[in-house]
Each structure stands twice: as C-alpha cells, then as structure tokens.
Amino acid sequence: MGGHREKDEGDGALLRAVAAGDPAAMAALYDRHAGWLHARLTRRCADPEVVREVLQDTFVTVWRSAGAHRGEEAGGWLWTIAARRLIDARRAQERAGRLETTPIDTAPAGAGPALSAPSAEERALTGLEYGDVGTALNRISPELREVLRATVVDGLTTRETARLLGIPEGTVKSRAMRARAELRAALAQLTPNPMGGPA
Amino acid sequence: MTGWHAPDRLIAGYADGSLPDADAWSLEKHLESCAACAGRVSRAVRATAAGPVLTDLRQAVLAAAPRAPAAEPRPLRAPRLLWAAAPAVRGAWLPAVLLVALGAVLLAHVADFSGARPLLLAVAPVVPVAGVALSYGRHADPLHELAASTPSAGLRLALVRTAVVLAVSLPLLTLAGVVVPSSGAPGAAAWLLPGLTLTLAALALGGWLGLRAATAVTGGGWLCAVLAPVLATPDGAVSRHLSDQLSLYVGGGAAQGGWAAAAALCAALLAVRRTAYDRLERH
C-alpha cells in the first residue's frame, strides 16, 4: 500500500483522491470509516457474512462514486450507502429463503398517518437528562426500538425500513406510532411534565 | 462541529457491542459528521474480534480499484463519428465519386469532349444511389451485426448514412457540372432532384427488396431510361441525343415538378414503411 497518508487529511480531500483512483487515499478512508461502519452494521444484522459483504460492497461503490460526494465529512454519506446495501442484501436473502421469515405479528396495515418530520419525541429528547432517554428506550419492546432506530437514527423511509426489517409497510407505520406513544409515556413517567405539556 | 467528542468509555462500549441503544444511537449520529471520532472508533473496532475481517476486506477493497483510473483525454469525436456514420465514404465509393467528377472536368477541358455535361448529368443521379447501397446492410458494413443491435439502428442509421453520402456527392458533382461547359444539356443543378428522388426511391424500395436489390433497380432503371433510347438511335450523335433525352427527363419546370412530387411520394412511402428497416435482412 503506497504509504500512509496524513491522519488529519479531510474526508473531502480523500474522496477527491479516491475519485482519481488513488489507492493510498482509499486505504486512509477505509481505515477511518470501515471500523465503525462494521460495528454499526453488526448492531443491525446478526449475520457476520452479510455484514462483511455489505461493507465490501459499500467501499467498492465508493471507488465508483467518490466523485459524486460534495462536502467535507463523508461519514453520513458512507452510512447511507451501507444502509442501502444492507437493505438490498436483506431483500435478496428474503427472496432466497422466504419460507422461514414470515413475520409473526401482522399489525393492521395503514393504521395511521405517515411519519411527520419534527416529531414529538425529538423535541422531548432535547429537554431530558441523558440517562432518562436510555431508560425510556429500554422500556419499549425491541420490535418498536428497531423501527425507531431505522426511521429516526438511520433516516430510512417507511418502505426501506419495511424491507430492512422484513415486515409490511403498514406494520412499520403502526409500530413507529406505537413506539412514539410508548416512549412518550415512559418519558412522562420518568420526568413528569418535561416540556411543559402533558405527554 | 459542536466541539463535543465521544469519551473513551463510550467508544470502547460501542466497539465491543455492549453499549445500550440510546448511547449507541447518539454516537452513531455523531460519527456521521466527525471524522476524528470515526477514526477513533474504527481503531477501537480493529482491536476487537472484527479486526481480521476488516484487514481481509481492506485488501479486497484496494484490489477492486478501477483499472486505468486516470481517464486519458477523450479523442476528438467528429472524425470518428464521420467514420462510423458512413461506410460508403471510407470505401471505394468516394474514389468513384471523385473519378466521375474529375473525369467529367478532364473530358471537357483536356480532351475537349463536348458531351461531358450530358454524360455527367446522366451518371450523377446514380452516384448517391450507389452510395446508399454501400451504406447499410450486412454486405456493406462489416460491423452491421453490431450496428443493427444498437437502438439507433434501422431506418435512422440508414438515413444518417444516406445524409453523409448526399453531403459528399451533391456539392462535388454539382460543382463539376458547373465547371463543365453546357453544350445544350440542362443546367448543372438539374440532376439534384432526380438524384434525391432516386435515393429516396431506393430507400423506400429497400424495405421490401433489401437495399442492394433496391438500389440496383432504381439506379439501373435510371441508366436504362436515359441510355437505352440514345443507344438505340442509328446515327452516331450520341452526346446530342443524350442531351435531348436529359432535357426531356430533367429539363424544364414540369419535369422538375414531377421529380419533386415523386420525391415527396417516396418520402411518404418511406415514412409509412419505416419499421421495415428493423427487420431488414432478417428473412
């Protein structure tokens, strides 16, 4: 590998060099981002082989489309690619073995309006003690937390979330609503009247 | 950004997967926009069981570098486009056109042959027709199989190539006609409409017969119509008879109007039959 780069070279400069085909820049970019992407993917996918494939696909995509990235920090952009790849991998997997992945509970489809942008719990989160959120999150079920993570943290659409988790879109919507409601209730229990309004 | 950076405790917990969701989520959001913390977390993850996997992947990713990354400057497109657009122009047809034009001029000026203009006018309409025959189809283009599989194949490609043929032959032959003394024959531009009509007729007929047969019919038909009565006359004044014959066919407004109408008819026929070119030579 053609020598190590300056550790403090920005993502933007690295990506421009990668777009020009510089392997040293790719090595530096990989060393900076591959580790946390691996950890983040592992938290969302239990199969290490899929995680490995998705991570490789992500960086191979970076070779091709590094020139398309604008701006300095590449972390969010890389995660977007990785999340899409993970969804694709899930879909392929599901197609391969549809027999075993039938979702157990199917909540009624179209059970409410789509997610709205600046949501109640996001506003609530700003006014809370750090530990309270963790406690509240731990009280809601893993299924709801999964939906919350995909839609709020990973920024996926309802359809993408449905594909990632292998559940119908209607279920995603209803779970997201339930997650918000339960989170709100849990937070209200922990800190009565956090934002000056009833939860 | 905010000046906040992840504490080591958080990073260690995230790397080994023990960090609870709420902490993990906020760290993940931070890593999306903080290269420094991203590097720290990645280093911590490399020290865990995921290290060997990451090293393997690093090799694979670097091996997947695109070949010849620094794209060489694009070569000029226009000459290559012309080359691709006209198989006729790069074959024997172009020398033939030059020969006809030069031959007429030389006959008139060097050999002092008075029949050069009628002869040129008689031959000229066949020249673009022959160009069309050499432009499209398996017999004309060694890359026809490839060209036929592209979206622009069919009539569109045939028309593009015909346009190139016309762009080369029309000015050249008309110019030669202007240089050659008239000697009673119609004007130098008189062949343009017949030439265009015969070309369109060949293209229209091509939908049924294939281009080679269609051009043989139209080009041969024209030559027969012009030359047969001339050669049939007993006396030897060939060039005068040729002049008369050409005046009959292309001289005067009525004849030219007839050619124009025929050209329009052929164009309409071609438009109606345009899909025939998609199946050309497939039967």
8 Å CB contact of B38 and A32: yes
- Kindly identify which residue of chain B lies nearest to residue A46, measuring between CA atoms: B17
Whether B117 contacts B183, CB under 8 Å: yes
- Count structural domains, chain A: 2
Whichever domain contains A163, its CATH number is 1.10.10.10
Gyration radius of chain A's alpha carbons: 20
Gyration radius of chain B's alpha carbons: 35
Nearest to B42 among A31, A79, A137 (CB): A31
Per-residue burial over A109-123, b = 16 or more CB atoms within 10 Å of its CB, e = otherwise: eeeeeebeeebbbee
Q: Same domain for A36 and A91?
A: yes
Q: What is the DSSP string of A11-62?
A: HHHHHHHHHTT-HHHHHHHHHHHHHHHHHHHHHH---HHHHHHHHHHHHHHH
Q: Which amino acid is at B33?
A: S
Q: Same domain for A27 and A64?
A: yes
In angstroms, the Cα distances linking B109 to B98, B114, B175, B181 are 16, 9, 15, 9
Whether A123 contacts A195, CB under 8 Å: yes
**pLDDT at A91 (0 to 100):** 83
**pLDDT at B25 (0 to 100):** 87
Angstroms from A42 CA to nearest CA on chain B: 8
Q: Which residues have C-beta within 8 Å of that of residue B186, sequence separation ≥ 6?
A: B121, B246, B247, B250, B251
Asked whether residue A101 is domain-assigned, the answer is: no
8 Å CB contact of A75 and B61: no
Among residues A41, A62, A96, the one where a domain terminates is A96
- Kindly identify which residue of chain B lies nearest to residue A36, measuring between CA atoms: B42
Q: Same domain for A132 and A90?
A: no
**pLDDT at A114 (0 to 100):** 40
CA distance A142 to A165: 12
ipTM given for this complex: 0.73
In angstroms, the Cα distances linking B211 to A35, B14, B119, B192 are 64, 72, 26, 21
8 Å CB contact of B38 and A7: no
CA distance B280 to B139: 12
pTM here is 0.49
* C-alpha torsion sign, points A52, A53, A58, A60: positive
- Neighbouring CB atoms inside 10 A of B247's CB total 17
Whether A147 contacts A76, CB under 8 Å: no
**pLDDT at B264 (0 to 100):** 92
Per-residue burial over A23-62, b = 16 or more CB atoms within 10 Å of its CB, e = otherwise: bbbbbbbbbbbbbbbbbbbbbbbeeeebbbbbbbbbbbbb
**pLDDT at B178 (0 to 100):** 81
Q: Same domain for A51 and A127?
A: no
Nearest alpha-carbon partner for B220 in B134, B151, B126, B136: B126
Asked whether residue A76 is domain-assigned, the answer is: yes
Asked whether residue A107 is domain-assigned, the answer is: no
8 Å CB contact of B31 and A26: no
Whichever domain contains A91, its CATH number is 1.10.1740.10
Asked whether residue A136 is domain-assigned, the answer is: yes
Asked whether residue A106 is domain-assigned, the answer is: no
8 Å CB contact of B24 and A43: yes
Instruction: Write out the two tokens for A65.
Output: 């489309």
Angstroms from A99 CA to nearest CA on chain B: 30
Successive 10-residue mean pLDDT values, chain B, 283 residues: 78 87 86 88 89 88 71 58 67 81 81 75 82 76 73 76 83 82 72 87 84 87 84 70 78 84 90 78 48
Classify B81 as helix, strand or coil. helix
**pLDDT at A3 (0 to 100):** 45
**pLDDT at A194 (0 to 100):** 47
Q: Same domain for A92 and A125?
A: no
Q: Same domain for A77 and A138?
A: no
> Which residues constitute the domain of residue A185?
120-190
Successive 10-residue mean pLDDT values, chain A, 199 residues: 56 86 88 91 88 90 83 86 89 71 44 44 53 74 87 87 89 90 82 52
Q: Which amino acid is at A109?
A: A
Angstroms from A156 CA to nearest CA on chain B: 14
Asked whether residue A198 is domain-assigned, the answer is: no
**pLDDT at B248 (0 to 100):** 78
Q: Same domain for A88 and A165?
A: no
Asked whether residue A4 is domain-assigned, the answer is: no
CA distance B214 to B273: 14
φ, ψ for residue B89, nearest 5 deg = -65, -30
8 Å CB contact of B35 and A75: yes
Nearest to A75 among B32, B46, B50 (CB): B32
**pLDDT at B265 (0 to 100):** 92
Instruction: Write out the two tokens for B118.
Output: 């009628």
Asked whether residue A152 is domain-assigned, the answer is: yes
